[in-house]
Amino acid sequence: MRSHLNTQAPLAHEVLAAVLQVRSDTLQVLLWRRALDPHLGRWSLPGGRLRPDEDVETSIRRQLAEKVDVRKLKHVEQLAVFSAPDRVPGPRAVATAFLGLVPSGVDPVVPEDTQWHDVNALPRTAFDHEAIVLHARDRLRSKLSYTNLGFALAPEEFTISALRGLYSAALGYKVSATNLQRVLQRRGLLVPTGHTVSPGRTGGRPAASFSFAGKGMQVTDPFAVLKPPPRK
């Protein structure tokens, strides 16, 4: 009996990145508009085919360098493998997806065909890229509860009020500044810088400035869950 294994087309492997940043008080993702079929004109995640001589993280960092200054990324981690047989039209392609985080206040230079989009109001995306973006959003939300990953969303120095805004945008609900400060300080994650920030036009006392103690991701409380406030 003749085997059909050798008649199958080689399996393509691509790498994709959901690069997230809090911009204008919303969690946003970097997408580029496709200029070719299939899905001409739809918005896609940056990435492309895996080369024979590279691993997946080397590949995504190389390809991100074509869209965004990778030095601006504070954190990159593998997200998941997307392997549905029909995830793209034509020959089957498996995708290894990554989560990348850019700190607030940084404005990387991107090509003209590339823009930031609100993750909760995505435009029409190509293939399964919307599902990948939402998976990245959910991963970030989960890890903000039990790790120090907030360091990758925040600038080098920040006030508690500003940090509250970043967490609120990422989590999708308003966070109490007092509770956030208490939790992060209990975990030893906040370091006073000794600086203060002017209150601006609103008046009041100058706000103390902080920084994160660590610059690499760490599990700080494996059983913690940041929950939204109860509905009234």
Average pLDDT of the chain to the nearest whole number: 91
Threshold 0.85, pTM exceeds: yes
Candidates 170, 135, 158, 136; CA nearest to 26 is 170
Per residue in 151-174, pLDDT tens?
A: 999 999 999 999 999 999 999 999
Hey, how many other C-beta atoms are within 10 angstroms of the C-beta on 186? 11
Per residue in 105-149, pLDDT tens?
A: 999 888 899 999 999 999 999 999 999 999 999 999 999 999 999
CATH number attached to the domain at 145-212:
1.10.10.10
Q: Above 70 in pLDDT, residue 9?
A: no
Domain with CATH 1.10.10.10 in the chain: 145-212
Per residue in 196-206, pLDDT tens?
A: 988 766 666 88
Per-residue confidence (pLDDT) for residue 80, from 0 to 100: 97
Q: Above 50 in pLDDT, residue 1?
A: no
Place of tokens 């003209």: 112
Residue 5, classified by CB atoms within 10 Å of its CB into exposed (0-12), middle (13-18) or buried (19+), is exposed
The mean per-residue pLDDT over the stretch 6-26 comes to: 87
Residue 177, classified by CB atoms within 10 Å of its CB into exposed (0-12), middle (13-18) or buried (19+), is middle
13-144 is classed in which CATH architecture? Answer: Alpha-Beta Complex (3.90)
